[in-house]
Amino acid sequence: MTARSYVLVHSPLTGPVVWGRLPKLLRDRGYEVVVVDVQDDDEAPFAGRFVTRAAAQISAAELGSPAVYVAHSGAGPLLPPITRALLPPPCGSLSGAAHPIGGYVFLDAGIPRSGQPSRLDLLREEGGGFAATLLESLRAGARFPAWTVDDLADIVPTLDDRIALVRSLRPRGYDFFTEPLPDLRTWPDAPCGYLRTSAAYDSQVHIAEPRGWPIAKLELGHFPALADSHATLRSLLGLTARLSPAIPRTPG
């Protein structure tokens, strides 16, 4: 498909700094770009607040063409409720305007599930024991993520970017990770693709592949736009071009 607009949605655990120079590179190529920036979802319902804030920012942008929604990391499961919140009110009200969806790209992100799983439930599905370790630490009062500049040295090459990323982190506690996510309802409602940039998200690729989604793989780590914005741009544009114009008919 051909896209002229992109909406970039950061994880609730970080901020828009994760996109690096990607928004500028997209704009330099003539694309409309909305960079969501939600920083006031610190109270329950966490997901509901994030969705409401993100949808308001996207709506205010008044995009001129159908957008491809790109989710990073923990923003993946929130894309369907965000785009649903952009629909006009029922009963033919003239107070709202539809925001056509060009497609979805999950960039090292969780894939939405039916029902109302918690973030911890989704981590359990990925296997590897991380969910159990995280649950134990959260019950003891810890918050996640708590990465340091040194922790990120192998995947974010520039010191200034590492410092900015650490400053943007939004560590969360037990209530955040065990909160049920918004109901998925009917989804997907537009073409989907998966951009995998770290081995930790191979489990999500295994979900996307049987659904026939186009998949692109890079070895840039979990913050690819900070590792190499140009390579991330090329892969994103290439993946977008491969999105089928037909709406996929797979369950969420």
- Is 162 a domain residue? no
The 10 Å CB-count burial string (b at 16+, else e) for 148-179 is: eeeebeebbeeeebbebbbeebbebebebbeb
Q: How many domains in the chain? A: 1
- Residues 153-212: tens digit of each pLDDT: 999 999 999 999 999 999 999 999 999 998 887 788 899 999 999 999 999 999 999 999
pLDDT at 147 over 50: yes
- Is 50 a domain residue? yes
- Is 25 a domain residue? yes
- Is 11 a domain residue? yes
Distance between CA 106 and CA 88 in Å, rounded? 25
- Residues 199-214: tens digit of each pLDDT: 999 999 999 999 999 9
Supply the range of the domain harboring residue 18: 5-111+183-241
- Is 66 a domain residue? yes
Neighbour tally for 45: CB within 10 Å: 15
**ω before 214 within 30° of 0 (cis)?**
no
Reported pTM: 0.92
Distance between CA 104 and CA 44 in Å, rounded? 26
Collapse the DSSP code of 212 into the 3-class scheme (helix H, G, I; strand E, B; otherwise coil) and give the result: coil
